[in-house]
Amino acid sequence: MSNFDYIKAADFDRAWLNFELDLPLKPSLNGKSNPFYVNRPGNPINELIDALLAPFYRPPKFFFSGHRGCGKSTELLHLLSNSAIQKKYWPINFSIREETDIIDLDFRDVLLAIGSRLFREYRKKGGELPEHLLNELNGWKGKVEKHVSTIMEGNISEYEVGASINAFFVNAGMKMKLEPATRIELRQIVETDITGLIGLINHIATAIYNQERRIPLILIDDMDKPDLDRARTIFHDHREIMMQPKCAIVYTVSSALFYSKEFDAIRDQALFLPNINLRTSTDAVNRLQEGYRTLENFVTVRMDSKLIHPAALEQAITYSGGVFREMARIIRTAIGRARRRKAAQIEIDDIEWSAAEIRNEYRRILDKDDLKLLKSVQVSKRLEYSDRMRPLLQLLALLEYRDDENWCDVHPVLRKML
């Protein structure tokens, strides 16, 4: 969708599009918030904005996480529209999946992606880098090509140097994603001169600052997708290297890292985006109206309220557990059923159908030991960082919340199973 496609739905056809599950909300072209954007109570993204705007000796690095579907990508894009951030920083946002294979992610891939995107985005926006830096980059490129014969195809001597480097980075990224053999070769070359690559990144960042008088800020999305072992290798074992680039960086990281002992390596710069509180840990009966209003707004900015019965909307919010993506999933499934019934409005039965569909998916995944743990947590609400609990949190079978302290509860659709 483009910025002009965020139109409030008056019928189910349009509503189906508006509840696309993977729809990060880009800022509007005029710098205002996206019309579908809903601010959450006590939004932690404001903490990140404040931290980025605070004075610093070195460009800061932050580690941003949250559970699947909580809205991390949307919040990062919303951060980009902040006028104070735009004034202080030269920001770029990209997904690591655009640059390499996220299933086989390595710290060297991330560094190469940072350098590549800094160069390409600055050139794309009309920026000119000094000739001595282009020559330095061209020399580094030539050294890589000498050892990795497949990295470029054809004769590149006809290219102007900047275009040649740009083509190199684009081609390298494509081969990093698609060709495991080339990926291994590239990593070996980077490993032999990791300080050289970091130096090039820093020279590009410095050149951008000297011309723009703004510090490069890189927001890297989808780095929460690799498994815990890879996250440990990147952010724990190679933490110091990941802190070296002379630009501000916000890394998205796996929530599983927050439930491991290795979290200590990033604790001071970590920020977690929790789910929306619909109740408190000590009161399972009374609803938090602020949380319910937030999820209600999430629906009503996307479609006309006449398309869903008020009781059905309330039940959908309850079943969502305060997770935006789960809310979209429930509504979208209910829209499909209402269309098949040729109904004019989503009813409670449609919401119950959606909840049953989600519940049936969990039946295929959860074993007896999982159900036993879920029953225990349903009573205690205790969040314990155990190997047994971690996968249930990542599956959203357990949902984490925060008020005075962290706590968790069972996904509301699973209560009938327990």
Per-residue 3-state assignment (H helix, E strand, C coil) for 177-229: HHCHHHHHHHHHHHHHCHHHHHHHHHHHHHHHHHHHCCEEEEEEECCCCCCHH
Least confident of 7-21, 40-54, 136-150, 181-195: 136-150
Provide mean pLDDT across the span 219-234. 88
SS3 at position 168: helix
Q: In the chain, pLDDT over 90 holds for what percent of residues?
A: 50
In this model, does residue 39 exceed pLDDT 90?
Answer: no
> Does 313 lie in the same domain as 261?
no
Integer Cα distance of 164 and 150 in angstroms: 15
| Residue 344 pLDDT exceeds 50 | yes
Residue 248, burial from CB neighbour count under 10 angstroms (0-12, 13-18, 19+): buried
For residues 166 and 220, state if they share a domain: yes
Instruction: Give the closest residue to 82 by CA, choosing from 57, 122, 41, 45.
Output: 45
Say yes or no: 261 and 310 in one domain: no
> Is 60 exceeded by the pLDDT of residue 1?
no
Residues 268 and 332 in one domain: no
Residues 321 and 370 in one domain: yes
Confidence of residue 248 (pLDDT cuts 50, 70, 90): very high
Both 266 and 128 in one domain: the answer is yes
Percent of the residues in the chain that have a pLDDT greater than 70, as a whole number: 94
Both 180 and 215 in one domain: the answer is yes
Token readout for 225 is 């997708």
Q: Please report which residue ranges of 266-323 form alpha helices under DSSP H.
A: 289-300, 310-320
Token code pair at residue 267:
């604790």
- 1 within some domain: no
Q: Does 24 map to a domain?
A: no
Domain-located, residue 204: yes
What mean pLDDT value characterizes the chain?
A: 87
Mean pLDDT of 74-78: 86
- On whether both 265 and 293 belong to a single domain, the answer is no
Is residue 205 predicted with pLDDT exceeding 50? yes
pTM recorded for the entire structure: 0.87
Could you say which of 238, 273, 308 is where a domain stops?
273
- Residues 183, 106, single domain; the answer is yes
Looking at the fold, whether 107 and 234 belong to one and the same domain comes out as yes
Q: Does the residue 280 lie in any domain?
A: no
Backbone angles phi, psi at 269, to 5 degrees: -115, 20
Cβ within 8 Å of residue 304, ≥6 positions away: 8, 9, 10
Domain boundary among the residues 217, 242, 273 is at 273
Domain boundary at 219, 247, 273, which? 273
The pLDDT confidence band at residue 17, using thresholds 50, 70 and 90, is: very high
Highest mean pLDDT among 121-130, 264-273, 323-332, 388-397: 323-332
* Residue 23 is assigned to a structural domain of this protein: no
Residue 115 has pLDDT above 80, yes or no: yes
CA distance 366 to 175: 38
Mean pLDDT, rounded, for 316-340:
95
User: For residue 387, is pLDDT > 80?
Assistant: no
pLDDT exceeds cutoff 60 at 159? no
pLDDT on residue 140: 86
- What was the pLDDT predicted at 412? 96
Q: In the numeric block, which tokens belong to residue 278?
A: 């619909």
146 part of a folded domain = yes
Number of domains observed in the structure of the chain: 2
Instruction: State mean pLDDT over 381-406.
Output: 85
How high is the pLDDT of residue 351? 97
**Together in a domain, 58 and 115:** yes
Nearest CA among 342, 372, 371, 337 for reference residue 354: 337
In a domain, 154, yes or no: yes
Contact yes or no for 351/319 (Cβ under 8 A): yes
Find the domain containing 297 and state its range: 289-417
CATH of the domain at 180: 3.40.50
Does residue 154 surpass a pLDDT of 60? no
Report whether pLDDT(151) > 90: no
Query: Which tokens is 56 given?
Result: 């610093």
The mean pLDDT of 35-63, rounded to a whole number, is 90
User: By the 8 A CB rule, do 97 and 180 touch?
Assistant: no
Average pLDDT over residues 103-122: 92
